[in-house]
Amino acid sequence: MQEKNFNDFVTVDLDEEKNALAIIDQTKLPYAMEMLYLTDQKDIWEAIYHLKVRGAPAIGVSAGIAIYLAARDIRTDDFEDFYARFTEAKEYLNSSRPTAVNLSWALNRQDGVVKANKEKPIPEIVEALHREAIAIRDEDIAMCRAIGENGLTLVKPGYGLLTHCNAGRLAAVKYGTATAPMYLGHERGYNFRIYSDETRPLLQGARLTCFELSQAGMDVTVLCDNMSASAMRQGLIDAIFVGADRIAANGDTANKIGTSMVALAAKRYGIPFYVCAPTSTIDMNTPAGADIVIEQRKPEEVTEMWYERRMAPEDIKVFNPAFDVTDADLISGIVTEYGVCKAPFKESFEEIFRRKNQ
């Protein structure tokens, strides 16, 4: 089925020869392995919005590269003119996905690079943005591996691990977040049994997580979202790893729709529920989950996308939030690149950020 080997590619990169954002088109998986090389900001915006590139870390890396490419195309020698047009491009890119904090994080980080170099000629500012885009990419790889090492301390060989949606290699540059302990454990012979929720309505667990983990040679089983509690009750699941798109200061976590249901069932059956995310996903300016803006998606994703014929009445209303919020008291730990945070999360986050800034 695959003419190209998935393991030969990274999910997001800067193609220096083409001066393009290079991404795997995730909407074509698992049936076709297609790389896209995007240079136009409209095409990049649409790729993020339409989930051709998705996952908080991958979106952040994409944004860092995209805004560099936008700056590269600005033709002016005047800083004020440059910065006005840079800001316009930044705000445009930031409008593509409102919930994933890594998008605004990467854009604001690049904004800081521009401000720090404002006394320099425009070409030097652009080159500084280029270096920062590469740094964001490289840091993502190291960060995911560190999350994997920290997550691996929470499990044992032979465990049954459940994940929801896709927080794997396809959601980052390499390793992923929630799947990072799985990849490292696989390298070390842990023989995990992986269970992947199908993840309605966009099926990222079935199309993406199962694809990439099976490509890596792991033992992976897909199940419908409403089957996870049954698997827990039967003793198939020893621990749960999920990703995050935004984590509030109190530990409330926004992730793909359906995550909170997994956490509720895990609480009932006494199974540890871990969120894996980089510190860039922790938003200390968002006090609690109620303050997180939840993206509402098109109704056709529920009623039509995966069917030959429409599967709901034409005039029926559709509730289709892209994410839900898992309350902090349902989370056993939040695994970051600097360690595992436990409740009370605000204090734990502050300690992690102190460690990060040392």
- pLDDT at site 1: 36
Which residues 6+ apart lie within 8 Å of 2 measured at CB? 30, 33, 215
CATH topology match: 6-141 vs 145-357: no
The single-letter DSSP state of residue 305 is T
What is the CATH T-level fold of the domain 145-357, as seen in this structure? Rossmann fold (3.40.50)
Instruction: Return the bridge partners of 210, or none.
Output: none
The three-point CA angle 144-147-151 to 5° equals 140
Tokens found for residue 124:
């030097």
Three-state SS at 329: helix
Give one DSSP letter per residue of 88-120, joined into a string: HHHHHHHTS-SS-HHHHHHHHHHHHHHHHTTTS
Give one DSSP letter per residue of 138-164, joined into a string: HHHHHHHHHHHHHHHTT--TT-EEEE-
Expressed in angstroms, the distance from the first to the final Cα of the chain is 48
Whole-Å CA distances, 128 to 40, 105, 122, 141, 335: 21, 17, 10, 20, 31
Distance between CA 333 and CA 207 in Å, rounded? 27
- pLDDT at site 4: 58
Annotated domain spans of the chain: 6-141, 145-357
Three-state SS at 345: helix
Tokens found for residue 242:
């999920």
- pLDDT at site 5: 64
- pLDDT at site 87: 98
Clarify whether 225 is annotated catalytic.
no
Distance between CA 275 and CA 273 in Å, rounded? 7
Whole-Å CA distances, 351 to 93, 168, 188, 336: 32, 27, 30, 12
Distance between CA 4 and CA 1 in Å, rounded? 9
- CATH 1.20.120.420 holds for 6-141: yes
Catalytic residue among 197, 245, 252, 283: 245
pLDDT in tens, the chain (358 residues): 344 567 667 889 999 999 999 999 999 988 888 999 999 999 999 999 998 998 888 999 999 999 999 999 999 999 999 999 999 999 999 999 877 688 999 999 999 999 999 999 999 999 999 999 999 999 999 999 999 999 999 999 999 999 999 999 998 888 999 999 999 999 999 999 999 999 999 999 999 999 999 999 999 999 999 999 999 999 999 999 999 999 999 999 999 999 999 999 999 999 999 999 999 889 999 999 999 999 899 999 999 998 999 999 999 999 999 999 999 999 999 999 999 999 999 999 999 999 999 8
How many helices, marked H, and strands, marked E, lie in the chain?
12, 14
263-209-342-247 Cα dihedral, nearest 10 degrees: -80
Which residues 6+ apart lie within 8 Å of 209 measured at CB? 163, 165, 166, 168, 170, 179, 196, 199, 220
Tell me which amino acid residue 276 is: C
Distance between CA 96 and CA 49 in Å, rounded? 5
